[in-house]
Amino acid sequence: MGEFDSGFRDRVVVITGGASGIGRALGERFAADGARVVLADVERDRLERTVEELGKSAAGEVAGITADVTDPASVEALAAGVYERFGAVHVLINNAGVGAPSAKPWETTPNDWRWVHSVNVFGVAHGIQSFVPRMIASAEPGYVVNTSSGDGAINPLPGASVYAASKAAVATLTECLAAQLAADGARIGVSLFLPGGGLLDTGLWTADVATLRERAGRLRDGKYPTLTDSHGILG
Report the predicted TM-score, pTM, of the whole model to 2 decimal places. 0.85
pLDDT band of 20, cuts 50, 70, 90: very high
- Residue 224 annotated to the active site: no
In the prediction, which pLDDT does 220 show?
Answer: 43
Q: Across-strand partners of 103?
A: 160
The CA distance from 92 to 32, in Å, is 17
Residue 205: its pLDDT value, please? Answer: 47
Q: Which of 83, 143, 163, 224 is catalytic?
A: 163
At 43-87, the pLDDT tens digits run 999 999 999 999 988 888 999 999 999 999 999 999 999 999 999
Least confident of 4-13, 18-27, 112-121, 141-150: 4-13
Kindly tell me the burial class for residue 76, based on how many C-beta atoms sit within 10 Å of its own C-beta (0-12, 13-18, 19 or more). Answer: middle
Read off the pLDDT of each residue in 146-175 and give the average, rounded to a whole number. 94
Determine the average pLDDT of the residues in 204-215: 50
